[in-house]
Amino acid sequence: MAKLRGVFNLQSFRQNQLEAINATLAGKDVFVLMPTGGGKSLCYQLPAICEKGATRGVTFVVSPLLALISDQVNALKAKGISTVQWTSDSGDQTSEVLRLLRSSRKPKLVYVTPEKLQLNGATKSVLAELYRSGNLARFVIDEAHCISTWGRDFREAYTGLHVLREEYPNVPIMALTATANQGSVNDIISRLKIEGCVKLVQSFNRKNLNYIVERRKGSILASMVEFIQEKHANHTGIIYCLARKTCEDVAKTLRETYGLKARHYHAQLPTSEKEEVQQQWQSGKCLIMVATIAFGMGVDKADVRFVIHHSMPKSLEGYYQETGRAGRDGLPADCLLYWAWSDANQLANMIKRGNDNQPPSPETLEHQIEGVYMVARFCMNGAQCRRTQILRYFDEDFDPRNCGKLCDNCSEGGAIITEDVSKYAKEMIRLVDDLENDNVTQAQILEVFRGSRSAGVKAKGHDRHPLYGAGQDMNAMLRDQLVAALVAESGLTLKYVLNSQGWSTIYLRVSVSDTLPSLVLLIRQM
């Protein structure tokens, strides 16, 4: 407790921190699953400076990213904790680290990349010396999900970490992650060979975040500015945009038209500018960071009071992580998401083009597009508690009564009813099947389904189809939800046709026509 206050300047422990600290000090292996911003670092940084414990000496922390390591090392040094970074291949750094580790003034923490811990040469011999002399306190595997081939962040070098248990059987291991999927959790534990570990798993609910989702109609700048000025004048926030150009334009307008302290950030900025912008934001000189998702990994600013999504995020997991950067200090923060159907197409197109113009494999493409449509479903589901919806994605059953009306849907009021739309789902699938040869987009299909009298529908003769107007009794939102559900789950899929500018037009296609399960949607009755 004295260390918590004196060194870390914190008043009390958060959930599971003390349990993790006590378990590792007692020499046990520990697995910690905590949401983003939950306070994982303290679980190993505090024991590292405790004199009492079953094991003593140096704590080795394996972390995947250099940027994360540098931030943590600097922050610990600023607290007066002797910490070293051992990440480079340079002989100078290695000999300095070795000198320190062999001296009587050993550092409390050594941060390494997994590559560095691949046990050969200098690392192996110094670890063996420390082990023999009882100076190896524990191994910490941060971002432990990188060891699991289940996840999207798999890192080859993490797989070599099983040797830690084999070579140093008496040294406790602590693995920490914010990736909740049950399959990956078991995988991590078995790969690190810490089967008997103390498991500290907690809800992913971020109690202090208020989730609001709004449909974007036209420009949202004015409404965004009103939101910021009314609720967050002089507060720090992040606005996530899909495209780099949008970031630049939005930041410029916020500055020049509305006098707000905003800057933009994206992957194409030169490194020096990235550092300068981040520094300005970190220090509070710039309040609003308008960024693509390139901004965020390793960002630790405790007092971010709002995160706005200017358009739909790519996946629910991404949404959870991006909004998770708000309110890390535990105080209330707002997460406002603006979306439009066109975002889904834009995202699908971005995914199709892939990273660095490396198109994804067909399976990855399908999986990621489903992810986009899951976000679309989430946005359109104006009935069910947002937390229940988000946490279901992480296999967690969240009782909406515990939301505390901290989401737009729970604060709305009115009864929620279920609507069996199985009949409409079958009709929609048949309609897409019949019109497939005419290459129909989602917007066009919805026009036919609702019985629009538009010239486009008539020109193609779609108003003569027997299912023309089959969905006219449904309200527009329910029709949208129907399509999103059919693409996200089963029934419909998307087909891309490249035009001369390199953009794909996305057409609907049928994926399953005969075995469609029943489909029930939730709606709010006011």
Ligand X SMILES: Nc1ncnc2c1ncn2[C@@H]1O[C@H](COP(=O)(O)OP(=O)(O)OP(=O)(O)O)[C@@H](O)[C@H]1O
Please give the residue ranges that form the binding site for ligand X (CB under 6 A).
Answer: 10, 13-14, 17, 34, 36-42, 178, 300, 302, 328
Q: For residue 29, list its beta bridge partners.
A: none
- Minimum gap (Å) between residue 34 Cβ and ligand X: 5
CB closer to ligand X out of 36 and 349: 36
CA distance 331 to 206: 11
Please say which residue, 65 or 100, places its beta carbon nearer to ligand X: 65
CB of 12 or CB of 361, closer to ligand X: 12
Considering the complex, state which of residue 79 and residue 285 has its C-beta at the smaller distance from ligand X: 79
Please give the Cα distance from 408 to 396 (Å, whole number). 20
Cβ distance to ligand X smaller for residue 178 or 482:
178
Pair of tokens at residue 510: 């049928």
Shortest distance (Å) from residue 153 CB to ligand X: 12
Smaller CB separation from ligand X, 303 or 412:
303
The minimum distance between CB 322 and ligand X, in angstroms, equals 11
How do beta strands 262-265 and 288-291 pair?
parallel
Report d(CA 144, CA 148) in Å as an integer: 8
Comparing CB distances to ligand X, the nearer of 2 and 459 is 2
Other C-beta atoms lying within 10 Å of the C-beta of residue 279: 11
- Smallest gap from Cβ 81 to ligand X, in A, equals 14
Quote the least distance from Cβ 55 to ligand X, whole Å: 22
CA proximity to 147, closest of 182, 174, 114: 114
Q: Quick one: 40 or 264, whose CB is closer to ligand X?
A: 40
Distance CA 17, CA 95 (A): 35
Measured from the CB atom, is 56 or 301 closer to ligand X?
A: 301
Provide the minimum distance between the beta carbon of 160 and ligand X in the complex, in angstroms, as a whole number: 23
Q: How far is the CB of 291 from ligand X (least distance, A)?
A: 16
Helix/strand/coil (H/E/C) assignment for every residue in 209-223: EEEEEEECCCCCHHH
Sign of CA pseudo-dihedral 510, 516, 517, 522: positive
Sign of CA dihedral 273, 278, 280, 285: positive
Beta bridge partners of 524: 416
Q: Is 112 helix (H, G, I), strand (E, B) or coil?
A: strand
* Calpha distance 119→162 (Å, rounded): 11
- Among candidate residues 428, 420, 446, 438, the one with its CA nearest the CA of residue 513: 428
State the minimum distance, in angstroms, from the CB of residue 40 to ligand X: 3
In the bound complex, what is the minimum distance in angstroms from residue 208's beta carbon to ligand X?
Answer: 12
**Residue 494 near residue 507, CB atoms below 8 Å:** yes
| CA nearest to 314, candidates 333, 336, 337 | 337
